[in-house]
Amino acid sequence: MSDRRIAESRNEPIPAIVLLSGGLDSYTAAAIAKAGGFALNALTIFYGQRHATEVESARAVAKALGVLRHQELTVDLRPIGGSSLTAEIDVPHDRDLAAAGIPSTYVPARNTIFLSLALGWAEVLGAFDIVIGVNALDYSGYPDCRPEFIAAFEATANLATRAGVEGARFHVHTPLITMSKADIIKRGMELKLDYSLTHSCYDPVPPGRPCGTCDSCVLRARGFAQAGVPDPLLR
């Protein structure tokens, strides 16, 4: 019997796979899913990113969330390259976030790969819900953070798996998809999340301190300012 059916038969929380990076968004998305009645199985992927400090943060976040399982996978995307997060390309700093075009911090097919790995684990566990913290408002121009992509992947999941062929239905949950960064932080504060555990910077300064000027740092700072609360990483 699958984890989901066992949970349903016992009136327990439904198992879900949550992609957990150690960043603010994935932490909040996971906490929202937990508050909504899901039992979390966290998947963290080290893909060769230069901000590997986030993997340590993911461990701290997973512990704080009380996940059932925390799976860490290494899928090295550095040989493929094509991104300033995985290749010898400078991370942009003080960039105009309103500028057109996709920034160099986009990692080719990253969310497709991550969701595929989550889907495989979900099928093994008999879980049919996947949670990812993508956001379509403060998304820095990444095409794999759009609702259209998520809908397309969900349709693929139900076509490309044994569980889907046998009648199960996978759902990809994106609780942050229409929220601003400030709204995400406010929701996290309501859930009493400890954002000092998180890491957001694309280009951290040794020994892992946020640079303050990459896209992710700027979006994070703007979100905390608009939410009216201090960023605990800057205290």
Domains of the chain as residue ranges with CATH? 3-234 (3.40.50.620)
Cα dihedral 64, 66, 68, 69 in deg (nearest 10):
10
The pLDDT mean for the chain works out to 92
Judged against a pLDDT cut of 70, whether residue 202 lies above it is answered with yes
130: left (phi over 0), alpha (psi -120 to 50) or beta: beta
pLDDT on residue 84: 95
193 close to 170: Cβ distance less than 8 angstroms: no
User: In this predicted model, what pLDDT tens digit does every residue of 102-139 receive, in sequence order?
Assistant: 999 999 999 999 999 999 999 999 999 999 999 987 65
Judged against a pLDDT cut of 50, whether residue 225 lies above it is answered with yes
pLDDT bin (cut points 50, 70, 90) of residue 82 is very high
Judged against a pLDDT cut of 70, whether residue 8 lies above it is answered with no
* Rounded average pLDDT over 62-83: 97
Q: For the whole prediction, is pTM greater than 0.85?
A: yes
The DSSP element (H or E) to which 5 belongs, if any, is helix 3-9
Which of 10-14, 93-97, 167-171 is predicted with the least confidence, judged by mean pLDDT? Answer: 10-14
pLDDT on residue 4: 60
Q: How far apart are CA 181 and CA 156, in angstroms?
A: 29
Amino acid occupying residue 175: P
pLDDT on residue 12: 76
pLDDT on residue 171: 98
User: In this predicted model, what pLDDT tens digit does every residue of 21-66 receive, in sequence order?
Assistant: 999 999 999 999 999 999 999 999 999 998 778 899 999 999 999 9
* Rounded average pLDDT over 137-144: 76
